[in-house]
Amino acid sequence: MRLNIIPREQHCISRKHISDNALKVMSRLHAGDYQAYLVGGAVRDLLRGVPPKDFDVATDATPEQVAELFRNSRIIGRRFRIVHVRFGREIIEVTTFRGHHSAAGNHESSRRGGNRSRQSASGLLLRDNVYGTLAEDAVRRDLTVNALYYDAQTFELFDHVHGLPDLEARSIRIIGDPEKRFTEDPVRMLRVLRFAAKLDFTIEEHTAAGIPPCARLLLEIPPARLFDEFLKLFLSGFAATTFEQLLTFDLLRYLFPDTSAALREENALTLIRAAMENTDARIGNNKPVTPAFILAALLWPVAHQAFLRYGDRGDSPMVAMHAASMDTLAEANRHVSIPRRFAQPIREIWEFQLRLQRKSGRKAAELVDHRRFRAAYDFLLLREQAGEKTDGLGAFWTEVQTLSPQQRLASMSAGKGGGRRRSRTSRTRPVS
C-alpha cells in the first residue's frame, strides 16, 4: 500500500492532548537516535476527538535497548515482547517495529537480538518476535484504524494501510488477507467484533466474510488467553453490542459452547442480554463490576439445566445446585479459563438463589448481611427481569432491605416474612 503522510494542518492531533509521559518516552528515544511514534488506539481516538485511555509508542529500538534507556521499565510478554515504562500509575507501552515472517526477516531479526518467529502446522503464530521497519510494522498490525502513526517531532501523521479513510468511513477492516491474518491469530476475529462494537463502526465486507471459514480456529487458542479476551469483550462498557456481534457471527459457541446451545431455552437469551446491559450501565456510571457476575449470567442457563437434572434424580436442592455448579464451571474451563477468585463467587451467587427462597427465621434475616447478598439479590432481579417466575422474591427482598437490622430480625423471626420455614429435608426447586 502507498504511504500517505498527512501534515499538521490537515489533521486535528495536538501535542497538548497527548500524555506528558508519552511525550517524554518519545523524546528520550529520539535522543538515543531511535525512531519513535505514537501509535494505535491513542492516535485513532485523538483523530475522533475522544480522550485516549492509554498511550502506546512504536520504535525501532529493541526491547533491551528500550529497557536500557528507562530504569522505570520492564520487558513483558513471550509471544511478542513489549516494554512497559511506568510513571506512577500510568504505563506507557513501547513496542519494537514488527517485521515479516520470511527467512530474510528472521535472519535480520536475529541479527538485531530478536527471536525467530514460530508457527504451528495450521499457521497459528506461536512466537512473533520478528523486528522490522515502520512500514513493515504497519502492515503487521491487525486493523487499519489502529495502524496510524503520529510523529511528535514533525507533527505528521503516517498512514500506510488506508487507515484514515476507514476511520472517516467508520469501517473496521483487517490489514491484509482476512483468512490469512485470522489463521495467524484467530483472536483477531474477536478484536474485529470488539472494536466494531466499541466504536460503533461497521465491519468491512471482506473482513466479515473471512470470519466464518476461520471461526473453528478459536479452539486452538489457550483457555487462559481467551479469558483475557473475555475481559476485553465484556468489561469495556460495550458488552451488549459485543454479545450481539458474537451471536451474528456464531462465535459464542467457541467461547461458551454450552451457553450457546442453551440459548434455545426460554428466558436464557433475555437474561444474558439483560446482564450485558446492566454491566454496561454500571461501567457508564463509574460503578464497580466483576467478571464473576457476568459469568454467572452467561453460564446460568447451563447450570440451571444441570440443577434440574440432579434434582430429578433425587438430590436435595443445595446438593443439586452445588453439583451443577461444579460441572458447569469445569466444562466452561475447557474453553475459557476462569480463575478461582471468580469461580467461587459464581457458585455462591447461584447457591444463594436457593437461600433467598427462605423468607422467615433468624438465618433468613441474617442473609442481608452476607458479603454475597448484594450480588445474589441483583442476580435474582435479573432473573425476574428475564421473565423467570420467583413468586415475588425480588419485591420481598427489596422491602426487607428497607428495615433496620432489629426490625428485620423481629419481623422474620416472628414468621411475618410472608412464608413458612421449610424443613431441612425439603426437596423444592428454585422457582423458574
Question: Which residues form the catalytic set?
Answer: 54, 56, 142
| Type of residue numbered 195 | F
Buried b (16+ CB within 10 A) or exposed e, 14-25: eeeebbebbbeb
| Three-state DSSP state, 244 | helix
CA-to-CA distance for 306 and 311, rounded, in angstroms? 9
Degrees to nearest 5, angle at CA 265 with 259 and 224: 5
Helix (H) or strand (E) holding 36, with range, is strand 36-39
Order of strands across the sheet that contains 148-150: 4-6, 157-159, 148-150, 36-39, 56-59, 90-96, 82-87, 73-76
Residue 300 is placed in which grid cell?
446460568
Query: Who's near 402: CB < 8 A, 6+ residues apart?
Result: none
Helix (H) or strand (E) holding 208, with range, is helix 205-209
Residue 101 is placed in which grid cell?
515472517
Residue from 249, 184, 196 nearest 221 by CA: 184
**Which CA distances in Å does 223 have to 122, 187, 297, 318?**
18, 12, 19, 29
How do beta strands 202-203 and 171-172 pair? parallel
Cβ of 259: how many Cβ atoms within 10 Å? Answer: 23
Residue 413 is placed in which grid cell?
423471626
CA-to-CA distance for 257 and 273, rounded, in angstroms? 17
Whether 21 and 90 have beta carbons less than 8 Å apart is answered as: yes
DSSP string, 119-165: E-TTS-EEE---B--HHHHHHHSSBGGG-EEE-TTT--EEESSSHHH
